[in-house]
Amino acid sequence: MATPAKTPEPPYYAVIFTSLRTEGDGGYAETAELMQQLAKGEPGYLGFESAQEGEFEITVSYWRDVEALTAWKRHMDHAAAQRRGREHWYAAYQVRIAKVEREYGFEAP
Amino acid sequence: MATPAKTPEPPYYAVIFTSLRTEGDGGYAETAELMQQLAKGEPGYLGFESAQEGEFEITVSYWRDVEALTAWKRHMDHAAAQRRGREHWYAAYQVRIAKVEREYGFEAP
């Protein structure tokens, strides 16, 4: 089950990816799973959170620094997947690179 | 329908709120709606995105600067809601304050 990611003390980086899907799968689920697996193997990877509600999806990945998230994007032909995404999978998406400055949380005993 | 938020040129701020709910509602939906309405009326509010999948929810709100998001939290007794949240609504949550440095996106023609 999905839970809030366990991340170290800030500062670190977040990639906030919000998307509106088109209908149907067309290989999306498989490629999304591959992206996540590749992220986990990358140096500087800190965590991953994702929630999909109907056709709207928010995915947040966490990274040690800008270099780590840039390497991930290059490494795995993410660019190619994005090209395919624009053509087939997405009606719209937005990518935001953000530096996490402060963090707090709660966990039930 | 939920869509990626339209935000201005960075820099601006994001509050990434990820939570794992307990079962049942107990007034949660009503209070969450109120929080969002109050945010929209705040100076410096830029946008709001939310997706809930089962008991896991990701909510991202966008703000002009740290002052704007801090004012929102104070203004609306958010603290009280959080207290209630810890006791009733959440098994766990994580709040991250992040400065958006870069943004790009796509929208189908």
Q: pLDDT digits over A49-94, tens only?
A: 999 999 999 999 999 999 999 888 776 556 566 667 667 788 888 9
pLDDT at A73: 76
Rg of the Cα atoms in chain A: 14
> Is B94 in contact with A103 (Cβ distance < 8 A)?
yes
pLDDT digits 0-9 by tens, B65-78: 999 998 887 765 56
- The reported pTM is 0.90
Q: Determine the Cα–Cα distance for residues B86 and B90; give it in Å rounded to an integer.
A: 6
CATH assignment at residue A68: 3.30.70.100
pLDDT digits 0-9 by tens, B7-57: 999 999 999 999 998 887 777 777 778 778 888 888 999 999 999 999 999
Number of domains in chain B: 1
Domain hosting residue B21, numbered range: 12-100
Question: Please, are residues A26 and A89 in contact by the beta-carbon 8 Å criterion?
Answer: yes
The residue assigned the tokens 């709207």 is: A56
A8 lies in some domain? no
Q: Which residues 22-81 of chain B have a CB within 8 Å of chain A?
A: 22, 49-58, 60
